[in-house]
Amino acid sequence: MIQIVKPGILIDFVSKFKIAISISIILILAGMANLVMQGGPKLGIEFKGGTSIQLKFDKPVNVVELRNAIVVSKTFKDAKIQSFGGTNQQFIIYTKASTSSTTKNIEDDLKRVLTKRFGSHYKVMEVNMVGPKIGKEFRDKGIEAIVLALFAILIYISIRFQYRFAVGAITALLHDVLITVGFLSIFGYQFTLDVVAAILTVVGYSINDTIVIFDRIRERVKSNRKLSRVEAINIGVSETLSRTILTAGTTLFVVLALFLFGGHALKGMSFALLVGIVSGTYSSIFIASPILLAFKGELIPEKKEEESTDRFKQKVEFDMKNLRGG
């Protein structure tokens, strides 16, 4: 395997734990403060209900002119307009209208006011409508999916390793989710079903990195019981650092391509993946592993395997004697 980090190098990650947690707290608080100031996350029509209409004009159009054209209709009086593509020729119009009119009625109403102002120099590319009840159901299901994923991971890590490892892993995952949600809010991205899928992907990506590091820590403790907890963690993280950088780097290239060239529809999802992958890699190194130090005792309690083996042998011999005696 390609070695990004020189083999045998030992980096003291644990000593940087306080600095790392301080940076994380600042970023999380900034994101949550932004959410509070905005009155909550910006929900897409999948979650709040409404209609989105994508338009494309033959030539650049001023947003103010477009708004003045559509507010004539009651349907679009409080509509929001978003430009994308960088040419002022493509727009998405968001309106709360979803249940009082059909999709065709809303589209016909828009065409009426647009044709009056712009003639036939535009085209309706796409119309999406979601009712408020369905939007609420999508929102509840999205939150439920994230919570259940975290709970399932907690159980899995507790069985695979120990409870202390599970706490470290879940702390890192919560960190990643909060960082991602905060950055989405700060940069003004809407929370859609695609974004929820991206957050769940980040959870899976982050836990994979964390488990690899935990496995290496466990191997080092089992092979050398004299290692201190700090030494075992530093060795485990250092030995997996090349793998972590390679995995994160190659994944980031793909996600960055999606963000830059995937178009407007993939912006929110790809941005969430970008932030989440960076945060997931960071938290696996600086959050999940050092959390293990919060618990007393050995990282991997020594099991009395020899005594168990002797008792098993004695039981087998006793059973064999009884069989021969019978």
pLDDT of res. 60: 87
Q: What percent of the chain has pLDDT over 70?
A: 83
Assign 271 a pLDDT band (cuts: 50, 70, 90).
very high
d(CA 123, CA 111): 9
pLDDT of res. 102: 63
Assign 23 a pLDDT band (cuts: 50, 70, 90).
very high
177: which residues sit within 8 A by CB, 6+ positions away?
146, 199, 202, 203
pLDDT of res. 307: 43
Residue from 60, 122, 53 nearest 88 by CA: 60
**Mean of the per-residue pLDDT values of the chain:** 81
The answer to whether the beta carbons of residues 17 and 283 sit under 8 Å apart is no
3: which residues sit within 8 A by CB, 6+ positions away?
242
Write out pLDDT tens, residues 121-170. Answer: 888 888 877 765 666 777 788 788 888 888 888 788 778 777 788 888 88
Is residue 313 scored above 60 in pLDDT? no
Helical axes 267-283 vs 193-223, angle rounded to 10°: 20
Residue with more model confidence, 40 or 185: 185
Chain centre to alpha carbon of residue 246? 19
Average pLDDT over residues 164-181: 89
Average pLDDT over residues 232-260: 89
Assign 230 a pLDDT band (cuts: 50, 70, 90).
confident
- Residue 49 burial by Cβ neighbours in a 10 Å radius (0-12, 13-18, 19+): buried
Adjacent-strand bridge partners of 127: 53
Q: Which domains, ranges and CATH numbers included, belong to the chain?
A: 14-40+135-294 (1.20.1640.10), 50-130 (3.30.70.3400)
Assign 310 a pLDDT band (cuts: 50, 70, 90).
very low
d(CA 196, CA 182): 14
pLDDT of res. 101: 54
Predicted model pTM: 0.73
